Amino acid sequence: MRVGILGSGLMGGKLGTIFARAGHDVLFSYARSKEKLKKLAREAHGNARAGTPAQAAEASDLLLLAVHWSRVEDVLRQAGDLSDKIVVSCSLPMNADDTALVVAHISSGAEELARMVPKARVVSAFNTVPSEVLFGVYEARRKATRPGLVYCGDDESAKDMAAELIRDAGFDPVDAGPLRIARYTEPFALLVAQLAYGGTGSPALAYRFERLG
């Protein structure tokens, strides 16, 4: 898959590296320095390069959106036309100091994003795990008991591609349904963050869903 990374920080940097190591073509974009993007591409040890959001949009089948909510409009403007592109968003609609969701209950960040890019095929994924676990899960991906990762979206073929990336990253994809379910997965992501960073837990947190009976 040709994957463009829009936002090459903790999530985008790590997931892009994992996707490149899993054999995908990755283009890192959107950081404050070009040097950082080039370094990420070099150190991915896969098929990876650095570029601009517009180049990422042009050259990719699927884009990972991994910026703070306050940067979404800017990165989308720089990316340009996203018609027919799959946009997998791990961006949560957080306020400036990351203490609360600014979209919730009757909508979600994922649904707001879908309204911003009406011709794109939006999937919400990866935002319910702390970035700290990503490399560990990838390295342990052949274990029988893999952590789960919930995702949702309205376009089935876009979801199939997202599920492939989720598997490549070492997780069991858990299809939570249509994009409106992001109203519940986004608050769930805050629960995970609270357990990982707020209490006595640690960021080394990934979850499994067990079917009982």
Ligand X SMILES: NC(=O)c1ccc[n+]([C@@H]2O[C@H](COP(=O)([O-])OP(=O)(O)OC[C@H]3O[C@@H](n4cnc5c(N)ncnc54)[C@H](OP(=O)(O)O)[C@@H]3O)[C@@H](O)[C@H]2O)c1
Q: Which is nearer to ligand X, 129 or 163 (CB)?
A: 129
In the chain, the amino acid numbered 121 is R
Q: Which is nearer to ligand X, 91 or 146 (CB)?
A: 91
In the complex, least distance from residue 66 CB atom to ligand X, rounded to whole angstroms: 4
- The helix or strand, by DSSP H or E, that contains position 163, with its residue range, turns out to be helix 156-168
Alpha carbon distance 100, 179 (integer Å): 20
Q: Which is nearer to ligand X, 2 or 68 (CB)?
A: 68
Which residue has the CB atom at the shortest distance from ligand X? 9
Q: How far is CA 125 from CA 64, 109, 145, 158, in A?
A: 9, 12, 20, 12
Write down the residue that tokens 């027919």 correspond to.
Answer: 84
Q: Which residues bind ligand X (CB under 6 A)?
A: 7-12, 30-33, 36, 66-69, 71, 90-92, 94, 127, 130-131, 189
In the complex, least distance from residue 129 CB atom to ligand X, rounded to whole angstroms: 6
Q: Which is nearer to ligand X, 90 or 163 (CB)?
A: 90
Asked if 4 and 16 count as a contact pair (C-beta separation under 8 A), the reply is: no
In the complex, least distance from residue 27 CB atom to ligand X, rounded to whole angstroms: 14
In the chain, the amino acid numbered 7 is G
